[in-house]
Structure formats: C-alpha cells, structure tokens
Amino acid sequence: MCGIFAYLNYNVTRERRYILEVLFNGLRRLEYRGYDSAGISIDSSNLNSESLVFRQEGNIESLVKSVYQGVWDEKEDVAATDLNLEESFSVHAGISHTRWATHGEPAPKNSHPQSSGAGNEFLVVHNGIITNYKVLKQTLLRHGFTFESETDTEVIPKLAKFIFDKANEEGDESVTFSQVVLEVIRHLEGAYALTFKSRHYPNELIACKRGSPLLLGVKDLEEEASAGSSFSDAKFPSSNGQPKELFLSSDANALVEHTKKVLVIEDGEVVHIKDGGVSIYKFDQAKNNHGGPLGRPASVQRALSILELEVEQINKGKYEHYMQKEIHEQPESVTTTMRGRLIRGGSCKAKTVLLGGLKDQLKTIRRSRRIVFVGCGTSYNAALAARSIVEELSGIPVTMEIASDLVDRQGPIYREDTAVFVSQSGETADTLLALEYALENGALCVGITNTVGSAIARHTHCGVHINAGCEIGVASTKAYTSQIVVMAMLALAIGGDTLSNQARREAIIDGLFDLPRKVKEVLKLDEEMKDLAKLLIAEQSLLVFGRGYNYATALEGALKVKEVALMHSEGILAGEMKHGPLALVDENLPIVVIATRDSCFSKQQSVIQQLHARKGRLIVMCTEGDAASVSVGGSSRVIEVPHVADCLQPVINIVPLQLLAYHLTVLRGYNVDQPRNLAKSVTTQ
C-alpha cells in the first residue's frame, strides 16, 4: 500500500534542490499507493550530524510545501530549518515515503521515515505490516526506549539502534550496516519492504523485503555517456569509482524516467549500497533464527533486467485524470493483450489461441478435477465474468474463491486442482497468502497478472501476463477488461480443438479480433454517461442488476461507483431480486439493469417488467436496436451498446459504467485518481 523511493548519487555532484526534486517526483509517481501523509530524509551539511527529517500529513504537495518553506511542526513549534538548496554533494543518500495508514491515524508523528530516537541515528521507511511489533515494542520499552508514534514501523529503527549499541558495547566496533539490518530482520514477522539510512554509515543505504515489492534501479552515467553502450549491457554495479545514480522504489513507474536497468529484489534478499557498489545477501529465516553473534552471510550474484516501459505510458497526456486516460486506452490495451496470441488464417485457415506461458502445462490443466479462480475486488469480478466460458469449453467445474476467505477458512485445495490467481499488481497480500496455501497443498498454480516479475508471476508454476500497460488510477479499468480477455483466451486454450465446440470457438475468436473496434464504439457514449451522471449527482444509492455473464458486470460497475464516487452502490444477481432486494424498489431509487442479448435476455425482460410494476426508476443497458424491447412504455432511460459474443459482452458492458463512475466523481468534486481511504496495490492484510 505505501510507496518507498530512495535516491543515492555517487561521484556525481548534485545540488540539494536537485536531490529533493528527484525524491519528490519519485513520491509523485508512487502517490497512488498511499496519499494520507508523506516524509523524506536527506543529509545535513555535516555528515556526522543527524539527518534532516521532514514529515507531513496530507498529500505529496503538502510535504513539498513544508520542506521549501522550512516549516515542520509535529507537536510543538519547531524552529524552522533553513535549507541551503544550492549546497552540492558528490555523494548523498536520501529516502522518502508516501503512506497509506494502517497503524495510527494520518499525522506527522506516524509518517515515515520513522526514527530510532533523538539524533536520528537510524531511519526507516516501510511498506507492509510487522505482525509481532507489540512484542518487540515491550522488549524495547524494558531497555529504556520511548515511542512517539502509533505505528508498527517505529520498532524497526529502535531495534537497529539497540543492536548497534549492543555490538559496540561488546567491543565489535567493526559491525557493518548489513550485519545490523540482517539481525533486525531476524526478529521481524509479517510482510515488509524496508529501506534503512543511518548517520553511523553515511552515504550507504540498505533495502530488504519479504512480501512487499521493492526494486533497485541503476544508472551508470559513464556507460550512458559512451556511444557504444546499450541497454543490453546491463552490468551489475560495482565499487569501481564510476559516477552513478542508484534508486530504490516500490514500483517501476518511479524508475523509468531515470533508468531502465533494474533489479527486482526478491523475498529474503538484503541489498547493501555502498561506495557506488551493490552487494546482495540472502537471508534465510529458518537458518538464522538463533541468538548467536552477528553473522556475515555470503553475497549472491544477480543480473539486472531491462524495463519494458516508456515514460509516455505513465503520463496523463491529453487527459485530465489517469482514470479517464485508462478508460479511453482500452481499445489499445485489449489489442496489446491479444497481440501474438490469437491465430487466424494460415495454410489450414485455423483459428486458435497460443498462450506461451501455459503451453507446457495445458495437459495437466485439462486433467484437473476442478479449476479454482482466486482473487480480490476487481480481479475476482473479472474471473467471475470468465467462469461460465471456462466451464463451457473445458468441461471442468470452476469454483470462485475470494482470496482472504479461502485463507481464513482453510478451504480444501487438492493436488488435482488447478488454482488460478488473478491480480493486477501481482503483489496483492491476500492473494499471495492464498497462493502459498495452494502451493502447500500441491495444486498446480497459474498466475494472471499485469506486472512482469511480480511475486505472483515468480511463485506460480505458469501464467499469463495481461499486458494491459501501466495502470495508475486506483480504480482498475483497463486491467479488468484485459483480465477478462486473457481468461477467455485461457478457456479457448484449455478447451482444445474438439469438433463439438469448433463453431463456438471460432465465433469467440472472431469476436476477440473485433473487440477493440467495439470498445472504441462504446466509448462514444462518454457524453451520454456524463449527462446521466448529472441526473444522479445528488443520489445516495444505486442498484445494479445483472445475470449470467453480466452478474460480474453488475458487481464491477457497482464497485467502481462506490470506489471513486463515494456513493453506496450494490451489484445484485437479478435472479435473487425477489428474495429481498425488491423491497428497496420505489420511484426514487435509481436502478441499472443490464439486459444485453444473451441466453438470459428474456429473464432480464421479466425483471424489468417487475421493477416497472413497482414504479422503479430504471436505467437499462441493452444491445443496439433493443430499446423498444426493454423500455416498458418508454419510461426507462436506455443505454445501447454494441453486440459481441456473449462471453465477451462484459468487456463492452462495463465501459459505460466506468464512464458513469468517472463523471459522477468529477461532478461531485472528489479526487477520481486517489479515492478516499484506498490505495492501488493492497500489499497488507
């Protein structure tokens, strides 16, 4: 949920102003991960004096303002810090953080970096949750430490100081920064990505992770200045004295404007940046759970990889908001999702699907006793939209699991199962726990994510990247439609080329080829949805009825409205209408009914009749040309959408609801890209 960004310049002179702007821009790129408070730490003029720490409640711009005005007031009036913005540093290490509150309300004292105490000997920024922090806190209190914040994070820098002081008391004055940190994480339980800074180890940074994402970016200035260098020459940084810039970030979005050479830090790794070089140590919790002297684990070798991301992809371009941009990018994103995976034509005029990440496991999947889709929120809804077509083409029973519920109740997962884990970020904490549980039970695990190198991508046996492109708006839009497209292709791949379903398969493949054009067509409803939003702006509640493939559309449409427009909305299975929800219907409550042409169309017509009989205020989504069939007496407002194959119709039908949610939010004056209390990547339980 939170965002970490750190910047270290080595043997390259940078003014303090430049360093601050790099840190602030990094946080701006990560603000979708949390935006209730933020903080940074930079060096003072004297390396041996305490680091400067600035923390502020509110968004990134609140922090920027407080730093440049030299005003930071936590509990009392604190003397203003006069920053010399022109002061230059040939080597400097700065860390920063944007927070999504879990422990303690949004306030400067609870913001990061968290400190070891007076003098800021050790500073830490943290993404995740330390589950045993209360036990550690009690231990540190007994040793005389005092705590100022309500966070779980504060125990980490204080524990680092305790370990450092104890080592020095025992005469080990040569204890290294990495040894201190390795001893700290030996005591930590839970999920975390951490970056450490210490005045005892000037110009050094240490990063480590377990569960939460963290990347290292490397920009070798001398290599980039030479004409013969290329991105394929991604050598690991060494202490060779060459000028370079090193970055740590929770997400590649904040790195791509600086460098494309990255290392995805893996669980249990400790990355030590010192003298322009990088050392990586592998920490094993089981092997290191002892109380002996501080150890020195052997370093490991890793290769840098190259980001396939462009700066243009993370800018808003001509749009006012990221959500608006991402809704309108869907014709391109679904095209990219399908590129190279759909085959039509050739010598035998075959129509088929090729999913390279699954081809070695298709036979195993086809032998499965059942397929279990696991996800949270929008990803769960996408899997639900695809469930019917997977069952139809594969002949394998499909069950749906909300990740947290599967883990809570320890639901049965068998060796004969195929478990499919769906997550936009690939780092969703509940989904990762469910994946760990499924692996323990021996199931074949398949990942469907939008993030190459993510935890789910690395830990599943096989999988498919949806290739939807960078999604920054907190409310998922284009990732949802690309997930449905991928799972439709998954159904085609599992189903094989049996004669009995050949016509059905070919119709779906034709529909997939035509899908980008149909999405572009439905986006023309933008102004119509804006007009509808104006009519609904003052409403307090909205019901959305769907059935069959479009039950998922009802859930996802309602989720979008509640996420960003902050309006109560509920997606309801239309078949359950008479079992309670009908009691809510009156002439004031707006109700959306999804009634596009499929096998459930006649049943939805019946639902419309019953709602009309009770004077329901209806908004009906139907297939183009069906307005007269769904508007009883012309009293309903009708949204007409293009027709596609029934299993692909949810891709089309969700777009008007995304547009409605977007316009409702803007008209109501809320922040559409950063909705209240939410963040993009849910990396905490």
Per the CB < 8 A criterion, the answer to whether 263 and 239 are in contact is: no
Tokens for 225? 């200045």
What pLDDT score was predicted for residue 231? 38
Rounded to the nearest integer, the mean pLDDT of the chain is 89
What pLDDT score was predicted for residue 349? 56
What pLDDT score was predicted for residue 106? 82
pLDDT in tens, 41-67: 999 887 667 889 999 998 889 999 989
Of 2, 470, 600, 622, which one is the catalytic site residue? Answer: 2
Q: In this model, does residue 235 exceed pLDDT 70? A: no
Q: For residue 469, how many C-alpha atoms fall within 13 Å in the half-sphere facing its CB?
A: 25
Stretch 552-574: mean pLDDT, rounded? 96
Q: In this model, does residue 496 exceed pLDDT 50? A: yes
Q: 522-556 burial string, b = 16+ CB within 10 Å, else e?
A: bbebbeebbebbeebeebeebbbbbbbbbbbbbbb
Confidence of residue 126 (pLDDT cuts 50, 70, 90): very high
What pLDDT score was predicted for residue 114? 94
Per the CB < 8 A criterion, the answer to whether 661 and 667 are in contact is: no
Stretch 371-394: mean pLDDT, rounded? 97
Query: Over the Cα atoms of the chain, what is R_g?
Result: 27
What pLDDT score was predicted for residue 178? 93
* Angle at CA of residue 290, ends 285 and 292, nearest 5°: 130
Stretch 88-110: mean pLDDT, rounded? 89
What pLDDT score was predicted for residue 452? 79
Question: Would residue 2 show up in a list of annotated catalytic residues for this protein?
Answer: yes
d(Cα 213, Cα 682) in Å, to the nearest integer? 11
Q: In this model, does residue 171 exceed pLDDT 50? A: yes
Cα 405 to chain centroid, rounded:
20
* Angle at CA of residue 196, ends 272 and 193, nearest 5°: 90
Strand partners, 590: 617
Stretch 247-275: mean pLDDT, rounded? 91
What pLDDT score was predicted for residue 236? 63
pLDDT in tens, 195-225: 999 999 999 999 999 878 899 999 987 766 5
Greater confidence (293 vs 282) lies with: 282
Amino acid at 118: A
Least confident segment among 29-33, 76-80, 420-424, 522-526: 76-80
pLDDT in tens, 11-46: 999 999 999 999 999 999 888 887 788 999 999 887
d(Cα 438, Cα 399) in Å, to the nearest integer? 14
Greater confidence (414 vs 683) lies with: 414
Which residue from 235, 238, 177 is spatially nearest to 208, judged by alpha carbons? 177
pTM of the model: 0.81
* Angle at CA of residue 491, ends 488 and 494, nearest 5°: 150
Greater confidence (310 vs 627) lies with: 627
- SS3 assignment for 249-302: ECCHHHCCCCCCEEEECCCCEEEEEECCEEEEEECCCCCCCCCCCCCCCCECCC
What pLDDT score was predicted for residue 46? 75
